[in-house]
Chains A and B, each alone.
Chain A
């Protein structure tokens, strides 16, 4: 029987069509560690009991239920699993750089659980990553929040079930270079960037209105004609309704203010800015809007829009009441985010808990998952990282990383070669000459010839 095509369009149908992957969850008892809860202080000589992937109890001298694995954390520091709010690992594509607006594209469609970079981040205490579309487009694709369940080979297993939907926006030099300068397609300037966004939102409003009218009419007239289906405008309409959270890559103070104005005009209440190297210049405005910021610890001067940056950015934003996180945007940096956070002790004198919050509870808030992760509290997911010293010390070595109560990284037990799959035909000693330049959101979209290649990340 022919399915009524209208039902094919409903988003509820979309979400229902993706089955909830039966996640593996573990049971563990972590004994006698120094527990950095982040939200409720530091607890010495404390145990954590994990049942079915959740933190069941925190306290001293907990009794271990029979048959449960016990991890002796004497001398170790236990912190919440680190959350990286800006990452491009574990996906096969980063940028669909052919159009300034590509909201219908989803990086979650091309998850790659085989990516060794998932493991390398685990080795640095990361348990959750916000995997994002690149910054080539003003309105990019939808992002996906994943847990580092390394070892699973089903891409769906990585998805953090229930995490809110987010989408990537990008302002400034990247989209103007990729589209304006390279392809002669607007935007070429920051003025153009604003127009692209407003134009997209207006069209989405019209689209939504036309569909609402159709839905109304269909009830009384079975011959009502539905408007053309447009997947892109569907997503943009969802943003306007507040169902998809905008994470916007921006650097300059003026473009940050521009977006706040646009969002206000369209009634969008929430936004998280990414990078915002000049966020500190408009910290009061960000705080007043309730916008949040996810920044680098100390990257700067690689583009003109970050020339006037300061490593004190995170501290200034924090002191002005903006919920701030530190991210990596790099498969190298995400291996030592605990060290990046520690830099705020120096650049601005944040306290230890404030510094730890930048990589735990704050990014959790920015991803809408703070009820699940980001601190060590009873009832939250058992995502934890165990370090040999206080994680904000340079000498700290991550020893174990736990996701949903399962040990996914173990410095002592893991073999050296942790690849899940191996190329069956390439010569085995495949060494790549080290790169001297950092990877960033844009990954060389300067060159047209590379456009098609670089959009396929390994």
Chain B
């Protein structure tokens, strides 16, 4: 019985061209698994060679060199393989878009400037074709973000497995997104005079301040009402202000989207003026220019995309690759983001480039595992291989940053995920098409 399960599992789990010719679509399943003879890259507790890792239910039950294997476990011999915690992409649109050129499939942007009450989580399509394509490369968890206007809504941290958004939602993590005003040019064709750009920035800042002041007043009214509903008036129905209450009270972090150096400085000033304590910066393309100030402010940064063009023509060509490393060197806590939707699967390669251009492999690994977990406040659940944490991990035949590496197994909260997606299906169908050249339709 055990044997059958084992082969059945292998059959359903193995990736690559040779396998998976099943007629039925394989399904994910939880159970008890033992990964044996593996190189366990724990992130927080060094590397365990020839290690064993036991998964039970949704957790990592135990890991180590000579730990006993439960008799009911399905054993996956991972000789020559490596185990990593699932990679986390700290900024994507995954689940909120299907095809970029078709507006009907774009759900990350609503009309209007002021929409903090909107939630990206509820618009996530758990059955998006893009999701299975992503997780087979070891990216198991992503922050998916709304965009547009000043306050587009809340971003959510989701696992890339689940049939409902609520199931995918990890740790209840929500962040309020704030698109900080910018002094930069919108494109190479933006020919406004510097005075015009300055003016537009000042006006945008004024608007932001007005909204924030109003929100603070609303918070005072709301607090007074809660303290004494008999005596104090109920706040008016203003859903936008309602949505900002947790941010003002420090219960929800503020995710500040900002890229250019002058904007980052203005943002840091604004954060300090407003006395905000739970803030995270996202994007930070020119963070290296003001890395000392960011470090002094103690604000973590979700940096990326790494594979991007320099922001200034006079910049050295590799500055975007080196940005994360320079921030890290100055003492800033960093996580990496791709900003992608259909190619979030390339997060390991963004990390690899950051590693190659100054960050180093160790720090790059942390930037896609334990660092984002800590920044999002879910380090008790994910981000490293530790007993008691969720079994969200993947197994490779080499360095996950290297393109030639194949992923063998993926687990998300203990579910063994079938490494199966439409791109693989197409590969199997068309590698040797049947029929091949059909003579009557041939072009000769």
| Partner-B contacts on A (CB < 8 A) | 116, 119-120, 123, 173, 257, 260-261, 264, 280-281, 283-285, 287-289, 298-304, 307-312, 315-316, 319, 331-332, 335-336, 339, 342-343, 345-349, 392-397, 416-419, 427-437, 453-454, 458
Contacts and interface: CB of A to CB of B under 8 A. Distances in A.
Contacts of B102: 303-304
A289 B356 contact: no
Contacts of A173: 101
B427 A310 contact: yes
Given A302-B101, A336-B353, A437-B100, 10 more contacts: A120-B317, A285-B441, A288-B444, A302-B100, A310-B424, A312-B431, A316-B431, A346-B406, A429-B312, A431-B286
Contacts of A427: 194
Contacts of B100: 301-303, 437
Contact of A345 (B314, B341, B349, B403): B403
A2 to B, nearest CB: 45
9 contacts: A119-B317, A301-B99, A332-B307, A332-B308, A342-B403, A346-B404, A432-B187, A433-B311, A434-B309
B430 A453 contact: no
B327 interface: no
A332 B315 contact: no
B342 interface: yes
- Identify the 3 closest CB pairs spanning chains A and B, nearest first: A394-B352, A345-B404, A312-B427
Contacts of A396: 356
Contact of A397 (B356, B402, B431): B356
B185 A431 contact: yes
B98 interface: yes
Contacts of A429: 262, 312
Nearest to B312: A431
A393 B402 contact: yes
B103 to A, nearest CB: 11
Given A311-B423, A433-B184, A331 B314 contact: no
A116 B443 CA distance: 44
Nearest to A444: B187
Contacts of B346: 298
Interface in B390-412: 399, 401-406
Contacts of B129: 301, 307
A316 B430 contact: yes
Contact of B442 (A116, A285, A349, A431): A285
B259 interface: yes
B38 interface: no
Contacts of B405: 346
B403 A434 contact: no
A392 B99 contact: no
A123 B318 contact: yes
Contacts of B307: 332, 336
B148 to A, nearest CB: 11
Contacts of A397: 356-357
A309 B427 CA distance: 10
Nearest to B319: A416
A315 B426 CA distance: 12
A454 B355 CA distance: 36
A384 B184 CA distance: 38
Contacts of B231: none
A159 to B, nearest CB: 24
B130 interface: yes
B339 interface: yes
Contacts of B423: 300, 309-312
Interface centre among A299, A393, A431 (most CB of B within 10 A): A431
A225 B355 CA distance: 70
B118 interface: no
B21 interface: no
Nearest to B403: A342
A429 B260 CA distance: 11
B237 interface: no
Contacts of A304: 99, 101-102
A433 to B, nearest CB: 4
B28 to A, nearest CB: 22
A284 B432 CA distance: 9
Given A284-B433, A312-B427, A392-B403, A458 B188 contact: yes
B13 to A, nearest CB: 18
Given A281-B430, A397-B356, A431-B261, A300 B188 contact: no
A434 B338 CA distance: 13
B283 interface: yes
A433 B437 contact: no
Nearest to A253: B430
Contacts of B27: none
B312 A343 contact: no
B442 A434 contact: no
Nearest to B345: A298
Nearest to B308: A434
A264 B442 CA distance: 11
Contact of A436 (B101, B313, B339, B403): B339
A198 to B, nearest CB: 16
Contacts of A283: 430, 433
A432 B184 CA distance: 5
Interface string B336-364: 00010111011001001101110000000
B426 A310 contact: yes
Contacts of A307: 98-99, 129
B436 interface: yes
Interface string B51-77: 000000000000000000000000000
B301 interface: no
B214 interface: no
B189 interface: yes
The CB with the most chain B CB atoms within 10 A, among A261, A299, A302, is that of A302
B82 to A, nearest CB: 15
Contact of A284 (B99, B316, B437): B437
Contacts of B369: none
A10 B188 CA distance: 40
Contacts of B188: 432, 458
A299 B314 CA distance: 29
Contacts of A308: 422, 426
A427 B402 CA distance: 41
A346 B402 CA distance: 9
